[in-house]
Amino acid sequence: MGPASHVSTGFLDKTMMVNGVARKYCVYVPQGYDARREWPMVVFLHGLGERGDDGQLQTAVGIGNAIRRNSGRFPCIVVMPQCPDDRWWDKAFDHIDTAIDETMKEFSVDKSRVCLTGLSMGGYGTWAYGALHADRFAALMPVCGGGKTADATALAKVPIWAFHGEADSVVKVDESRAMVKAVQDAGGAVKYTEYPGVDHNSWDNAYGDAEAIAWLLSQRK
């Protein structure tokens, strides 16, 4: 049975099974969703402070806030898994895998327009998971994160727009600068926005940037 033609829209509470454990997550479905056409999908990875098991915290910071302020900029499915309290994203890739798979089964997703983004801990997750699955994503948008420069060859296969606050006191701006340079040196297409004087919260600027969101949703594999 395929995706339903008429479904609820907005922030929908979901539950998935990960290694036999029930895990809550959230899927944003835009107003006007119609399964008779395929929609772009954005996978969002939250930061350290949104870990847990309520399925809600990860919707309150970053892309969720941006959607609530300007939903018209997000004509897409957004899947928001939640990392367990005792892990970082690099130890919870199975949660991301399952959330993506379940969302693709339930909704009409354009597989050529699936993008990955995240902030802080989720920015690290975006660089790492994006490198591991570069062929899956049309674009990556890491915000105030860092990664392994050794991943640059894999990351060079996918368009990237990275963001960071120049005055970040939590994740040093050099983390993004190093990743951007490494991917550029590997021949990748990388855009980079650095906000002068901005501390760790560069995500409100990044997800509130209409041009950045339009760019993300326009990318295709």
Of residues 17 and 2, more confidence is placed in 17
Q: What are the tens digits of pLDDT across the range 55-88?
A: 999 999 999 999 999 999 999 999 999 999 999 9
Q: Supply the pLDDT for residue 4.
A: 47
- First and final C-alpha spacing in the chain: 27
pLDDT of 2 over the 90 cut: no
Q: Supply the pLDDT for residue 98.
A: 98
Name the residue type at position 211. E
Q: Supply the pLDDT for residue 214.
A: 98
pLDDT of 104 over the 60 cut: yes
Q: Return the percentage of the chain with pLDDT > 70, whole number.
A: 97
Name the residue type at position 132. L
Q: Supply the pLDDT for residue 7.
A: 73
Beta bridge partners of 192: 162
* Residue extents of the structural domains in the chain: 10-218
Q: Which CATH superfamily is domain 10-218 in?
A: Alpha/Beta hydrolase fold, catalytic domain (3.40.50.1820)
pLDDT of 159 over the 80 cut: yes
Name the residue type at position 178. A
C-alpha span between 139 and 157 (Å, rounded): 9
Residue in the structure block whose two tokens are 């392994």: 148
Q: Supply the pLDDT for residue 187.
A: 98
Q: Give the dihedral of Cα atoms 89, 93, 95, 99; nearest 10 deg.
A: 110
Measured from the Cβ of residue 21, the count of other Cβ atoms closer than 10 Å reads: 10
pLDDT of 6 over the 80 cut: no
pLDDT of 161 over the 90 cut: yes
Using a 10 angstrom Cβ sphere, with 0-12 exposed, 13-18 middle and 19 or more buried, the burial of residue 157 is: middle
Q: Supply the pLDDT for residue 209.
A: 98
C-alpha span between 153 and 132 (Å, rounded): 11
Q: Supply the pLDDT for residue 1.
A: 37
When the pLDDT of each residue in the chain is averaged and rounded to a whole number, the result is 96
C-alpha span between 221 and 213 (Å, rounded): 17
**Rounded average pLDDT over 196-206:** 98
Q: What are the tens digits of pLDDT across the range 116-155?
A: 999 999 999 999 999 999 999 999 999 999 999 999 999 9
Phi, psi values for residue 51, rounded to 5° = -65, 155
Q: Print the SS3 string covering 32-87.
A: CCCCCCCEEEEEEECCHHHCCCCCCHHHCCCHHHHHHHCHHHCCCEEEECCCCCCC
pLDDT of 30 over the 80 cut: yes
**Rounded average pLDDT over 98-102:** 98
